[in-house]
Amino acid sequence: MKLHRLSAPLRAASGLEIGQVLLFGGGGAVVGSEGGMGGGVVIGLAIVLVLFVVQLGWEILYVQRFAYTLTDDSLDIDSGVLSRRERSIPIRRIQNVDITRDPFARLAGLAAVAFETAGGGDDAEGEIRYVTTTEAERLRNEIQRLKRANDGGESDEASTSADVSRAETVEDTDEGREELFVLSTRDLLAASALSLDLRPLLPVALLVFEGTRYLPSGVASAVVGSPRLGVVLTAVGSFLASAAVTFARFYGFRLWRSGDELRYERGLVSRYTGSIPFEKIQHLVVSESLLLRRFGYAALDVETAGYGSQSAATRGSESVVPFAERGAVLALARSIEGFGFDTPAFSRPPKRARRRYAGRYAIAVVAMTTGLFVANRLFEFDPLRWWFAPLALLVVVPFAAHYTWLHRGVATDEGFVLTRNGFWRRTTEVVPYYRVQTVNEDHTIFQRRWNLATVVVDTAGTGSLGREGARAVDFDRHEADALRETVRRRLRRSVIERRMERRRRSSGS
């Protein structure tokens, strides 16, 4: 089958990088501005148009030579312009099928379909851009049906045929959909208001203190000449930017169960629809920022197997509940197949770990102050004249050390190991023993001085960017040894029990 005829212009528009536009278009505008501002703008737009036409020509050739075929066993994709690539993705290896509709694709009624396998990564040729939304849904439903048929085996063809027929009926009529969670407008606004994201802080600060210089002189002098006003504007701008990102990301979020997988849909500007097979869920992450904890809310993510680095949306970690009351989050987490955990009492690191945190935070404050002092000597940036301000943080160092210690812990029961870390954003990770890949005990040169160690429990979902596994941090070396052996022993036992259970099911069928 072929891509939609509008795929070429959509791919060309998305293929133009902002860096290319700024470099070539902006350079042309500057060169052409010698004959007047209007001439510079015209030349800049002309260069951008030429870039688009070149990109469009390439994409037309790419779309014409792109073909895909879905068979009973594999998804075959043939692509390439100068060099051809024939790729066959086994159906049984496909772990996730994500559907993305960016703004232009939504206007055209099209969608992009991405297929994630156990290999992970960001391979663009594991993606079909673009097809109609009906074709995208058909591909995802058909792949799910084929996976069910393959998992049914060949030993009982009649049973498999019946299961496949039921699956087709469920998918075609959507009668088997079980709604699990819907983010209401009220909760979305609350989640946006309570979002605590510091990433917009630096760009907003640069915009406030540097961008206002180009505004009328009265406004510029009011902001630049008053650091307090600049700080207030930076804080308000960062809050609004963070809230806007959260609102756009989770707008219209809903989660439902379809067969043996979870499905979700979200997004205001770009619409994402993804699937999460139950069998690929490695462990759960309950996260609570400081503000969420204060008002009794939390979020739930699942870590899935087979992802490398992050791709278009979030890879490796998928949001299942972006914002809800903590009790509801835990209830939904326990309803996920294989995760009927209790909430045992957490044991904390030894109290001497607090002294280690206090020393580390004090060193960080001094280093920050030193860096600002050097920057103040090298650059003329008005806020840097307050380089000594971070020294005030030394007052809160003991409290920061205490609360870091207070929110760390580990707990074990017969089926799961749970770890907890973080004050500003506390995360509780729930790992079933049968999902454990490795159990490592680490102790840095600084930990050895305090006779402390960290136990890291890795699953197949913790190889993605930024994921380090469930971590019991800064426990006494003897406690860490005991925890590591407990997890290893229960891992072996759980694997044996699951193997015996599969044999019983196989013999019973």
Q: Which two tokens stand for residue 231?
A: 């700080």
pLDDT value of position 9: 87
Residue 396 maps to a domain: yes
* Residue reference for tokens 């973080």: 422
Residue 463 maps to a domain: no
Q: What span, in angstroms and rounded, lies between the C-alpha atoms of 166 and 176?
A: 10
Q: What span, in angstroms and rounded, lies between the C-alpha atoms of 480 and 346?
A: 14
* Residue reference for tokens 């903590």: 326
* pLDDT, greater one: 343 or 161: 343
In the predicted model, is pLDDT for residue 67 greater than 60? yes
Residue 492 maps to a domain: no
Distances in whole angstroms, Cα of residue 393 to Cα of each of 360, 397, 441:
13, 7, 33
Residue 356 maps to a domain: yes
284, 299, 307, 273: which is closest to 140 by C-alpha? Answer: 273
199, 205, 392, 197: which is closest to 291 by C-alpha? Answer: 197
Task: Count Cβ atoms below 10 Å from residue 203 Cβ, excluding itself.
Answer: 12
77, 74, 118, 72: which is closest to 95 by C-alpha? Answer: 118
Q: 52-61, 289-298, 381-390, 487-496: which has the minimum mean pLDDT?
A: 381-390
* pLDDT, greater one: 201 or 323: 323
For the chain, the C-alpha Rg in angstroms (whole number) is 27
Read off the pLDDT of each residue in 447-473 and give the average, rounded to a whole number: 81
Indicate the pTM of the whole model.
0.77
pLDDT value of position 211: 63
Burial of 122 (0-12, 13-18, 19+ CB in 10 A): middle
Contact 84/266 with Cβ under 8 angstroms?
A: no
Question: DSSP characters for 21-59?
Answer: IIIIIHHHHHHHGGG-HHHHHHHHHHHHHHHHHHHHHHH
Residue 155 maps to a domain: no
Q: 169-173, 483-487, 494-498: which has the minimum mean pLDDT?
A: 169-173
134, 132, 103: which is closest to 268 by C-alpha? Answer: 103
Residue 83, beta-bridge partner list: none
Task: Count Cβ atoms below 10 Å from residue 158 Cβ, excluding itself.
Answer: 7
* Residue reference for tokens 């280690």: 356
Distances in whole angstroms, Cα of residue 87 to Cα of each of 4, 84, 126, 308, 364:
20, 10, 8, 19, 50
DSSP letter (8 states) at residue 347: B
Contact 28/47 with Cβ under 8 angstroms?
A: yes
pLDDT value of position 508: 66
* pLDDT, greater one: 45 or 456: 456
Contact 480/442 with Cβ under 8 angstroms?
A: no
Rounded to the nearest angstrom, the gap between the alpha carbon of residue 153 and the centroid of all alpha carbons in its chain is 34
Per-range mean pLDDT, top range of 33-47, 229-243, 349-363, 486-500: 349-363
pLDDT value of position 278: 86
Q: What span, in angstroms and rounded, lies between the C-alpha atoms of 206 and 193?
A: 23
Q: 89-103, 192-206, 443-457: which has the minimum mean pLDDT?
A: 192-206
pLDDT value of position 312: 37
Backbone dihedral region for residue 268 (phi beyond 0: left; psi -120 to 50: alpha; all else: beta): alpha
* Residue reference for tokens 């407990």: 486
Q: Which two tokens stand for residue 350?
A: 């030894």
Residue 15 maps to a domain: yes
Task: Count structural domains, the chain.
Answer: 3
In the predicted model, is pLDDT for residue 276 greater than 70? yes
Read off the pLDDT of each residue in 412-435 and give the average, rounded to a whole number: 93
Write the CB contacts of 265 (distance below 8 Å, at least 6 apart in sequence). Answer: 252, 253, 254, 271, 272, 273
Residue 432, beta-bridge partner list: 416
Q: What span, in angstroms and rounded, lies between the C-alpha atoms of 498 and 481?
A: 26
Average pLDDT, the chain: 82
Q: 226-230, 314-318, 424-428: which has the minimum mean pLDDT?
A: 314-318
Distances in whole angstroms, Cα of residue 353 to Cα of each of 242, 395, 408, 428, 469:
33, 19, 11, 20, 21
In the predicted model, is pLDDT for residue 280 greater than 80? yes
pLDDT value of position 25: 54
Band of pLDDT at residue 208, cut at 50, 70 and 90:
low
pLDDT value of position 165: 41
User: 356 lies in which domain range?
Assistant: 352-403
Residue 14 maps to a domain: yes
Each residue's pLDDT tens digit, 103-123: 889 889 999 998 887 655 444
In the predicted model, is pLDDT for residue 28 greater than 60? no
Residue finishing a domain among 64, 89, 111:
64
Length of the chain equals 509
Backbone dihedral region for residue 299 (phi beyond 0: left; psi -120 to 50: alpha; all else: beta): beta
In the predicted model, is pLDDT for residue 44 greater than 80? no
Residue finishing a domain among 22, 49, 64:
64
Question: DSSP characters for 264-302?
Answer: EEE-SSSEEEEEEEGGGEEEEEEEEEHHHHHTTEEEEEE
Residue 70 maps to a domain: no
Residue finishing a domain among 403, 431, 462:
403
Residue 67, beta-bridge partner list: 78
